Structure 1
Amino acid sequence: MPEHARDTRWSAARAWAWWEARDWVCGVNFLPSSATNFLEMWRAETFDRETIARELGWAADIGFNAVRVNTHFLVWQHDRDGLIARMRWFLETASTRGLDVVLVPFDDCGFGGAEPVWGDQPAPVPGLHNSRAVASPGRAAVMDHALWPGFEAYLRDLVASFGKDQRVLFWDLYNEPGNRMIFTPAGFEEYDAGLAEHSRALMRAAFGWARAEAPTQPLTVGAWQTPPVGSKARPFADEIDRLALDLSDIVTFHAYCDRACADRLIDQLAGLGRPMLITEWLARAVDSRIDDQLPLFHARGVGCFNWGFVRGRTQTHLPWPRTLVERHGRHPREGVWFHDLLHPDGTPYDHDEIALIGRLTGAGGRRAAR
């Protein structure tokens, strides 16, 4: 990373000016129900414009004002011009529905356990949550520094193309750097432990590469590592999380936990003195629920993006592996959706949840004083 990259981090005053120019941000993580992962979403052969447009419309109708979506390095590597054109279409389609877009270029969440491969994606594993999730550029690729010039070219191209586009809300440069989990029917396993140091270095480099293109939107990477239930460890104390918070223009984080836990995390991060957004939450089986947490985020002026929208090929309505749910001090509940809000025909899983989203987003962007 260039030595000046930290020095060009936005000031807190600039971050607050950006935040106060908009209503309270309430959005959803978006992957169309017809795609099993983001590689399938963005490939020309499986880029499902009809489903994407319909489901973005549903998001706007509910009251959301933003979506967060991952891109994928392999699509850029094999079809750069096509990816850029499809991203432009996506931004325009979202914008016409009143939705801003958060772009996520890198991601270590390869829960399916396989490295990403160009071409048709395999069908979901029956009964398994997010069974074909692949990382971008891929965990093995992150650990091969000979490939990094390509990652730099990818990120700088995306930021050069969209870094001054008003339809882009902010850049979430790297989703869950260092995440080593693999989901299996028997539980969860962990990928090679050497990933973290390479992910941390790539994240640091990504801030420098992106800032070199002078985007007008803020840059961030979310803190995401919270300790298991019963642990006395402080949340977001891992070196990757601390560096992410130190480099980010705005504070973003993940919190799949109950309301009391989410409130404590907000208290902890409020001391950083910057706008806050929770970029992943909602996991009903671990008591991360809309009925009690969405009002909390609204009252405290914290933007939010729940995980999962329309039940589909990711199968994220199913629970995480049982051992991971139990690590959170809970047990999967039969018949209760883990993530997701809508059935494939657009009807709500829970009408009260949808009504609450509409009431809070329709009420305007009330923020707590800082």
Structure 2
Amino acid sequence: MKLLRTNIFLLLVTGLLLQNCSIQKPAQTTGRSIWSKEKAKDWYASQNWLVGANFIPSTAINQLEMWQAASFDTATINRELGMAQSIGMNTMRVYLHDLLWEQDSTGFVERMNTFLEISHKHKIKPLFVLFDSCWDPFPKLGKQREPAPFVHNSGWVQSPGLSALKDSTQYPRLERYVKGVVRTFRKDKRILGWDVWNEPDNTNNSSYGRVELPNKVDYVLPLLQKTFVWARTMDPSQPLTSGVWQGDWSSDAKLKAIDKLQLEESDIITFHNYDSGDEFEKRIVWLQRYGRPIICTEYMARGNKSTFQSSLPIAQKYRVGAYNWGLVDGKTQTKMPWDSWDKKYTGDPVLWFHEIFHRDGRPYQVEETRLIKEITSRTNKKP
């Protein structure tokens, strides 16, 4: 009986030790630390006021179609980045994908460099997104499907996909992807920064929720921590970040565990907001307590009262960078509203949800492009 009690005690102690180990941050033996507030502020002060869009060429339905060799469309990329430059935009938020590294790391890096050459020509610095928890959890390489008629983002895919997220034996592959991409471009001045993970705890309830991992966040949270470490060990000269996107950020006590991790590990603070100007401003004020530069990496959903007219002047007031969702109407079909997953549409909406331009370069609303051009030219006017 004494031996049994001793064994039970040892098992309990071992369990507690393992539990404590599981919540500790992964060791970081090389690379750099999180930027100080002063370094982050100095970096931000050296940038023009950052205004741009979440970019994918109109000929691509998702990240894979954008970057794979057979569909990498430099002509469209060049033309559409020219549209962005014409209204004063100086940055784009651009999504990558882990499967692209597995498929052809050398070719992928070459295409990234080509994209950077085109971007640089148009005086645009991209913010690259490494991982993304939104939309289809079953990404597949090769030819991508055609868009579902009149459905918002019907072909966008997650990275990593569900199978990789739940399978820790694939994490070394994900580590090679993160480290490989960041190592290759860690000193590249054409790159603004690295958005480590987009909306990491998004469970896509309105679209793919029924097939998502029921405990998805339990897998994402430790992997997000690892991803920050993997990227930081490559000693990038550019900032790392991951944007908070839902919930109450007004005090530390109200933060979810994943929000806390995102905010504490980020060199610069980023967030999403698709609400009215008042809500947009409130969120900025909440995040000011961190004493770091702030950038909104997603906003502008006309049907949700998030517009350029309501939010962009507020971003200018606080010198908060701003990336709206969507540049040119195309295969992502994000001019359709979010509810197109639940409600059947048989034609284009009268009010576009996202996007700024038609494919032929015509603005969707001239007053919007006029405002963007006027406000960026005034704010970023050279002395």
Aligned runs of 1:132-281 on 2, under 5 Å? Answer: 132-181=155-204, 183-184=206-207, 191-226=212-247, 237-281=255-299
Which residue is 2:14 aligned to?
none
Shift of 1:139: 2.7
Shift of 1:193: 2.6
Distance 2:254 2:124 in 1: 30
Structure 1 residues 17 and 234, CA gap change in structure 2 (3 angstroms): closer
Corresponding letter in the other structure for 1:67: M
Which residue is 2:372 aligned to?
357
- Contact 1:225 1:235 (C-alpha < 8 Å) held by counterparts: no
Which whole-Å deviations, capped at 9, do the CAs of 1:254-288 have from their partners, x for residues lacking one? Answer: 11111111111001001111000000111111111
- Contact 2:31 2:235 (C-alpha < 8 Å) held by counterparts: no
Shift of 1:91: 0.5
SS in 2 for 1:359: helix
Structure 1 residues 323 and 5, CA gap change in structure 2 (3 angstroms): farther
Which residue is 2:53 aligned to?
28
Which whole-Å deviations, capped at 9, do the CAs of 1:171-208 have from their partners, x for residues lacking one? Answer: 10111112110554xx9757223111211111100111
Runs of 4+ with >4 A deviation:
3-7, 187-190, 232-236, 322-325
Corresponding letter in the other structure for 1:81: T
- Contact 2:67 2:100 (C-alpha < 8 Å) held by counterparts: yes
Distance 1:293 1:266 in 2: 11
Structure 1 residues 238 and 144, CA gap change in structure 2 (3 angstroms): same
Structure 1 residues 188 and 3, CA gap change in structure 2 (3 angstroms): closer
Distance 2:30 2:265 in 1: 9
Structure 1 residues 5 and 245, CA gap change in structure 2 (3 angstroms): farther
How many residues in Structure 1 have an aligned counterpart in Structure 2? 351
Which residue is 1:296 aligned to?
314
Shift of 1:234: 9.6
Distance 2:356 2:101 in 1: 30
Distance 1:306 1:280 in 2: 5
Residue 122 in structure 1 maps to residue 137 in structure 2: no
Distance 1:5 1:304 in 2: 32
Distance 1:272 1:72 in 2: 30
- Contact 2:336 2:349 (C-alpha < 8 Å) held by counterparts: no
Distance 2:61 2:286 in 1: 35
Structure 1 residues 162 and 128, CA gap change in structure 2 (3 angstroms): same
Which residue is 1:328 aligned to?
none
- Contact 1:37 1:134 (C-alpha < 8 Å) held by counterparts: yes
Distance 2:309 2:360 in 1: 23
Distance 1:308 1:296 in 2: 20
Residue 83 in structure 1 maps to residue 108 in structure 2: yes
Unpaired runs of 5+ in structure 2?
A: 1-25
Which whole-Å deviations, capped at 9, do the CAs of 1:128-180 have from their partners, x for residues lacking one? Answer: 10011101121331121110000000000001100100001011011111211
Please say which structure displays the higher CA radius of gyration.
2
Distance 1:303 1:144 in 2: 36
Report percent identity of matched pairs.
Answer: 38
- Contact 2:64 2:100 (C-alpha < 8 Å) held by counterparts: yes
Which whole-Å deviations, capped at 9, do the CAs of 1:112-132 have from their partners, x for residues lacking one? Answer: x35001111000111210011
Which residue is 2:23 aligned to?
none
Which whole-Å deviations, capped at 9, do the CAs of 1:77-134 have from their partners, x for residues lacking one? Answer: 011111000000001100111001111111111x2x3500111100011121001110
- Contact 2:91 2:126 (C-alpha < 8 Å) held by counterparts: yes
Which whole-Å deviations, capped at 9, do the CAs of 1:312-338 have from their partners, x for residues lacking one? Answer: 00000000026999xxxxxxx951110
Corresponding letter in the other structure for 2:351: V
- Contact 2:29 2:233 (C-alpha < 8 Å) held by counterparts: no
- Contact 1:104 1:175 (C-alpha < 8 Å) held by counterparts: yes
Distance 2:254 2:378 in 1: 32
Superposition RMSD in Å? 2.4
Which structure has greater helix proportion? 2
